[in-house]
Structure 1
Amino acid sequence: MKTCSNCGGSYDEKEPKCPYCGMINEVGAENEYKDKLNRIRKDLDNVDELAVIDYKSELRAFLKMFITTLLVVGFIAIMIVSAQISKREGAGGGERKAMDAKIEEIKTLRSYTEKWDALYDAGKYDEMCDVIATDNGKINVYDWQHYDFYKGYEAYYDTRSKIAEILSKDNAATYIKADAIHHALYAYYMTISSKSTYKFTPAEKELFKEEWPKLVKEVCEAFDFTEEEFDTLRIRAGSDSYPDYTEVNHFAEERWGK
């Protein structure tokens, strides 16, 4: 027991102060302080342990979420890259196929045009027309470098072929004669007329200038009319323009009847 120095009251020495007058008991107060301090330390230790537990729990949750997100993003990235690669490979494959097809087309065209070029260079134009007529449909003739000349000369060749057919018969029909004359005028339109859209080299132009008078003479001899009559018909059928078949047919009917 402890006796209070202030009021003389007796109390337990562990008490921090006198219960009667409130006088501080240094020993009891110090013990109380130490007890409170120890409790605070224990509470802090408990708080640290809980904090660590919570931190570890949150860290595990974060890592799970991070790994899951990383896997999802990685999967999406792989899918995108794969799609891009497939697209490029597909596009590249399509381009290669188109290029291969074009190469084959050029090779095929070349296999035909080599024959045509040889006949053109040799001046064998009639034979050239026969060969191209056979090959036409198998290959695109429009891509040939001498296509314009071929079409121009073909008009002469066809006219002469029609005249030969007419002369081989006793009485050819009027419309057949009209067709042959129309072909002759078409040859003029294609190769001589200023309105022709076909392009010829200087040598080709010179050849057609030589061939046209010959063709006129052949037509006039075959159908028994003068060159003046034929030129009048040319002007009547359209002059330098594309020849009007109706006018040519009227001329033929006037001359040979229907």
Structure 2
Amino acid sequence: MASHHACVLIPVYNHERAIVETCRQLTALELPILLVDDGSSPACARVLDELAARPDIHLVRLLRNSGKGAAVRTGLFAARDLGFTHALQVDADGQHDVEDLPAFIADMERTPEALIVGRPRFDDTVPMHRFICRYITHVWVWINTLSMAITDSMCGVRLYPVAPLTRMLSRHSCGDRMDFDTEVLVRWYWSGQGIQNRLVRVHYPTDGVSHFRLLRDNLILARMHVRLTLGMLMRMPSLLARRRTS
């Protein structure tokens, strides 16, 4: 049986107040942690340096803030170079319930070739405008894949098979900012690879730091949806054929 060697991948940008507790909780998984510093402030960088002194934590640093997508992509290539076969992406602010994460690792052992995507189970801390905006993106993803195989394309928890995904990212970067999470799943589906959905409880911290910029990021997402819709039209015959045989 093939050996699977997973790590936890966390993109970090100015989450110095949350990242220590997030890492502490994640020790329950008994997996190495790979932190990607996305050009954080000196205060956050010092906290990450202290964490990286631990033998089970690796740190990769981008010299300037490049966006969540760039940080995750950098982390995936670093995970490949470090010899990890899978990377469990988790947000830095601790909003995801750690007790739900072992199920992702169990899924990996059963279907190591699949990309396993978090399907959020929100509590009453979720801002309503975020909840509504997510479903606008979900509808576009269902259109762009001609499928409902991806139940949520914006959840920050997903388990990536590193080798095939980095090969895909060498051809398609999938964006540098908030567009990455959605585009990487659509392009993975287009490539014919398997996707599984796994429930994860999500709590929005009251003192959480949001890096979403309303105008900039909505424009980025709008351009992404146009690009993906054009890609869907080019792939429509194969997507319809896949739908008929699934």
TM range (shorter): under 0.3
Q: Which has the larger strand fraction?
A: 2
Flag the structure with more relative contact order, 1 or 2, with Cα contacts below 8 A and sequence separation at least 6: 2
Normalised by the length of structure 2, the TM-score is 0.25
Q: Which has the larger helix fraction?
A: 1
Normalised by the length of structure 1, the TM-score is 0.24
Rg larger in structure: 1
